[in-house]
């Protein structure tokens, strides 16, 4: 729906904040760079995703959350790519007074002299739980006097099978704490893991406690208390776009340890108040992304470094860590930077007339000797797209020409694409095809093709009309089938089919969008192409339709 949104809202600025594939191909849209367009995306591994690199020359305002990816973009020649980190509210996390931290430990039955190593994470395979357990084991074997325990604030019901890992590595379950959250009284408790569900000692409800998960979890204020139970924070991972818990831990003035790769490089530099964890490279199958396997020996070494520090050293580093986050990640900081980016954008002088940038199927290129320049000319003057030889489409056609494709066939293809594009652009807006006075009393029957099927489905229309006598029936089909439906007394109007009309959520609505139709029938549901179980037809119609 992005093209329709641009036409309707006429924005001055488009900002895409998502993984790069969330707006794949937008930079080839006819409106791209006619308005101010900005991409603010996360990249988490080297080599960078090819699409993210190939699109860089078409994105004037290109920002990435982590510096390692910005540096790689610059190395690849895209010097205009900038750094704009992800943000968090620095006011939500802070170090409590010593007496408050002591009271917290007593409430949670944690010994005051226990050395607590924390890890706050979604229990995903990219969070290196086995590596941390192995590093912790090495540390406690060398430093038994530390009374060290791990605190895993995570769900034990997904991802890594932590109890199995503990048995495998010979680590006592008594040394691993976790957060339980009560969905009845909303209190949390940090204790040894036993079962996925436990009785709450605060309100007494049975099986109301669960390890923190995506459905039931602590507030930010409670999470701040959990960080304040820790003596240090350790975050080993394979790769990531930001890893927000590292910054949260720094705001509570903890000395943090994290893998020195991907976005983690920003949080273990000298100025960050954190220490780097060394890693070994492995490759992700398929993408061949470089991933980090954090070395247990490095984890043990850095934990010991923090354990041996004086209170003054830890306090100094903790204050440095908090300042680093406030200066580089706080919403006030990021907001000001975002404002500056917007303020530098020029006024939009485009009149949002899509017809003026329609593809030109009648254009004939001059005799350009270079195939590369000839293709660029076709893109510019036929498809109205600015490309260079780094564009994937340009590369494809250069390859085809090298295989023997002649210019005439390539030109004909470009002209066909231009014709098809213009036909689609010139279609009457779907909403304009609907009668305003029947809002709330409309039924859609969607069957794009198959004239025999369409003819057969018309036998169901009388039954639909008997079930809903006050509703207008709109039949949605391909243009070549419209004549089959001419004169049908049960059809209010025939509408030309487009792919967007295959979506029940477009037709019937979802969330704030109330939908254009009360009911939508998809007679070819058996193909499993449609999510039939979600839409209104299930609840509001009688499937016992009689053929007449």
The per-residue DSSP string of 102-125 comes to: HHHHHHTT--TT-EEEEEE----T
Predicted pLDDT at 389 = 84
Chain segment 109-157, per-residue pLDDT in tens: 999 999 999 999 999 999 999 999 999 999 999 999 999 999 999 999 9
Q: Is the pLDDT of residue 263 over 60?
A: yes
Q: Is the pLDDT of residue 357 over 90?
A: no
Residues 6 or more apart whose Cβ sits within 8 Å of residue 142: 300, 304
Predicted pLDDT at 525 = 55
Residues 6 or more apart whose Cβ sits within 8 Å of residue 189: 108, 179, 180, 182, 200, 201, 202, 209
With cut-offs at 50, 70 and 90, classify the pLDDT of residue 543. very low
Predicted pLDDT at 531 = 52
Q: Is the pLDDT of residue 537 over 60?
A: no
CB 44 within 8 A of CB 239: yes
Q: Is the pLDDT of residue 534 over 70?
A: no
With cut-offs at 50, 70 and 90, classify the pLDDT of residue 338. very high
Q: Per mean pLDDT, which range of 54-58, 173-177, 264-268 is the poorest?
A: 54-58
DSSP 190: E
Q: Rounded to 5 degrees, what angle do the CA atoms 46, 51, 54 make?
A: 100
CB 518 within 8 A of CB 536: yes
Give mean pLDDT, residues 99-115: 97
pTM: 0.74
Chain segment 413-451, per-residue pLDDT in tens: 999 998 887 766 655 567 778 888 888 899 999 998 888
Cα-atom radius of gyration of the chain, to the nearest Å? Answer: 30
DSSP 40: E
Phi, psi of 365, rounded to the nearest 5 degrees? -70, 155
Predicted pLDDT at 527 = 42
Predicted pLDDT at 515 = 82
Residues 6 or more apart whose Cβ sits within 8 Å of residue 419: 359, 361
For 467, other C-beta atoms within 10 Å of its C-beta total: 15
Domains assigned to the chain = 2-87+336-344 (no CATH), 90-324 (3.40.50.2000), 358-425 (no CATH), 430-540 (3.40.50)
Q: What is the enclosing helix (H) or strand (E) of 152?
A: strand 148-153
Q: Is the pLDDT of residue 405 over 80?
A: yes
Q: Is the pLDDT of residue 358 over 90?
A: no
Which pair of tokens denotes residue 312? 């003054």
- What is the spatial distance between Cα 143 and Cα 387, in angstroms, rounded to a whole number? 61
* Mean pLDDT across the chain: 91
Torsion of CA 220, 226, 232, 237, to 10 degrees: -60
- What is the spatial distance between Cα 122 and Cα 261, in angstroms, rounded to a whole number? 19
Q: Is the pLDDT of residue 547 over 50?
A: no
CB 120 within 8 A of CB 106: no
Give mean pLDDT, residues 46-68: 94
- What is the spatial distance between Cα 121 and Cα 213, in angstroms, rounded to a whole number? 10
Which pair of tokens denotes residue 123? 């229990």
Give mean pLDDT, residues 367-393: 90
Predicted pLDDT at 42 = 96
Q: How far apart are the first and last CA of the chain?
A: 38
Predicted pLDDT at 538 = 47
For 351, other C-beta atoms within 10 Å of its C-beta total: 9
Higher pLDDT, 368 or 384: 368
Q: Per mean pLDDT, which range of 14-23, 62-71, 511-520 is the poorest?
A: 511-520
Plot region of 535 (φ>0 → left; ψ -120 to 50 → alpha; else → beta): beta
What secondary structure does DSSP assign to 219-259, as a single string?
-HHHHHHHHTT-SEEEE-BS--S--HHHHHHHHTT--EEEE
Give mean pLDDT, residues 486-498: 90
- What is the spatial distance between Cα 162 and Cα 166, in angstroms, rounded to a whole number? 6
Higher pLDDT, 196 or 500: 196
Phi, psi of 279, rounded to the nearest 5 degrees? -150, 160
Count helices and strands (H / E) in the chain: 18, 19
CB 293 within 8 A of CB 279: yes
């Amino acid at each position: 729906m992005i093209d329709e949104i641009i036409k309707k809202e006429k924005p001055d600025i488009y900002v895409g904040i998502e993984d790069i594939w969330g707006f794949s191909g937008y930079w080839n849209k006819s409106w791209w760079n006619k308005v101010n367009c900005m991409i603010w995306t996360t990249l988490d591994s080297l080599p960078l995703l090819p699409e993210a690199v190939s699109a860089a020359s078409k994105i004037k305002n290109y920002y990435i959350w982590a510096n390692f990816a910005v540096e790689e973009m610059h190395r690849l020649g895209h010097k205009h790519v900038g750094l704009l980190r992800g943000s968090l509210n620095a006011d939500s996390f802070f170090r409590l007074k010593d007496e408050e931290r002591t009271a917290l430990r007593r409430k949670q039955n944690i010994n005051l002299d226990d050395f607590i190593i924390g890890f706050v994470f979604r229990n995903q395979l990219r969070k290196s739980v086995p590596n941390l357990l192995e590093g912790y084991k090495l540390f406690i074997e060398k430093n038994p006097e530390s009374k060290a325990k791990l605190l895993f604030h995570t769900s034990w019901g997904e991802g890594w099978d932590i109890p199995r890992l503990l048995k495998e590595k010979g680590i006592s379950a008594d040394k691993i704490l976790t957060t339980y959250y009560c969905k009845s009284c909303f209190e949390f408790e940090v204790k040894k893991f036993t079962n996925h569900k436990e009785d709450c000692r605060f309100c007494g409800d049975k099986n109301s406690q669960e390890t923190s998960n995506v459905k039931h979890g602590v507030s930010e204020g409670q999470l701040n208390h959990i960080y304040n139970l820790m003596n240090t924070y350790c975050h080993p991972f394979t790769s990531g776009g930001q890893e927000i818990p590292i910054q949260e831990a720094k705001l509570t003035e903890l000395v943090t340890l994290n893998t020195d790769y991907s976005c983690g490089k920003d949080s273990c530099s000298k100025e960050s108040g954190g220490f780097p964890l060394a890693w070994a490279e492995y490759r992700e199958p398929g993408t061949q992304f470089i991933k980090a396997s954090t070395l247990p020996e490095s984890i043990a070494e850095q934990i010991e470094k923090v354990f041996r520090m004086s209170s003054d050293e830890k306090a100094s580093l903790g204050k440095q860590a908090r300042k680093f986050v406030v200066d580089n990640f706080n919403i006030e900081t990021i907001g000001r930077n975002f404002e500056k980016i917007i303020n530098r954008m020029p006024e939009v002088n485009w009149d949002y007339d899509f017809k003026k940038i329609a593809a030109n199927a009648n254009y004939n290129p001059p005799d350009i000797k270079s195939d590369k320049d000839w293709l660029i000319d076709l893109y510019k003057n036929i498809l109205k797209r600015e490309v260079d030889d780094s564009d994937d489409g340009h590369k494809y056609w250069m390859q085809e020409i090298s295989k023997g494709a002649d210019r005439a066939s390539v030109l004909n293809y470009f002209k066909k694409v231009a014709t098809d594009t213009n036909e689609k652009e010139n279609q009457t807006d779907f909403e304009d095809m609907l009668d305003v006075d029947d809002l709330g009393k409309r039924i859609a029957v969607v069957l794009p093709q198959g004239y025999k099927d369409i003819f057969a489905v018309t036998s169901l229309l009388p039954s639909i009309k008997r079930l809903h006598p006050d509703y207008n029936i709109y039949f949605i089909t391909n243009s070549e089938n419209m004549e089959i439906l001419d004169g049908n007394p049960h059809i209010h109007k025939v509408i030309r089919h487009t792919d967007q009309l295959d979506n029940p959520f477009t037709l019937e609505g979802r969330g704030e969008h109330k939908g254009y139709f009360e009911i939508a029938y998809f007679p070819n549901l058996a193909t499993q192409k449609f999510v039939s179980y979600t839409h209104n037809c299930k609840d509001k119609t009688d499937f016992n339709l009689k053929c007449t």
